Amino acid sequence: QKEVEQNSGPLSVPEGAIASLNCTYSDRVSQSFFWYRQYSGKSPELIMSIYSNGDKEDGRFTAQLNKASQYVSLLIRDSQPSDSATYLCAVEGGRGSTLGRLYFGRGTQLTVWP
């Protein structure tokens, strides 16, 4: 069973601050990693994909991947109240029957207060 662990939260930050969301995964063979945002009562929305070690930036979002440490993170700069949501980390299975399947963490709830 592939494990994906996220910091349980909830995480609360003031508007304009940096929010840091963390995720660790159990299977070293995984090569593809994703962050989803889910607003209350809505479906998950893909916001970042990362496949290589290092940082990937998209607007106010930066995903960081360290395969040696089996760690992936999401930084949200200049956090806005509209960023308040649950963030899901997903890890692709990597091999055999798990190839192409995503394994999700339980999510971290983020609240950005004005």
Partner 1 sequence: DAGITQSPRHKVTETGTPVTLRCHQTENHRYMYWYRQDPGHGLRLIHYSYGVKDTDKGEVSDGYSVSRSKTEDFLLTLESATSSQTSVYFCAIGNRDLYEQYFGPGTRLTVT
> Which parts of this chain interact with partner 1 (CB under 8 A)?
1, 32, 34, 36, 42-46, 49, 88, 90, 92, 97, 100-102, 104-107
Report in angstroms how near the CB of residue 26 gets to partner 1 at its nearest: 14
Q: CA 40, CA 87: separation in Å to the nearest integer?
A: 11
Report in angstroms how near the CB of residue 23 gets to partner 1 at its nearest: 12
Report in angstroms how near the CB of residue 61 gets to partner 1 at its nearest: 15
Other beta carbons within 10 Å of 32: 15
Residue 44 or 79: the one with the smaller Cβ distance to partner 1 is 44
Question: Residue 61 carries which side chain, given as an amino acid letter?
Answer: F
CA-wise closest residue to 78 among 62, 92, 98: 62
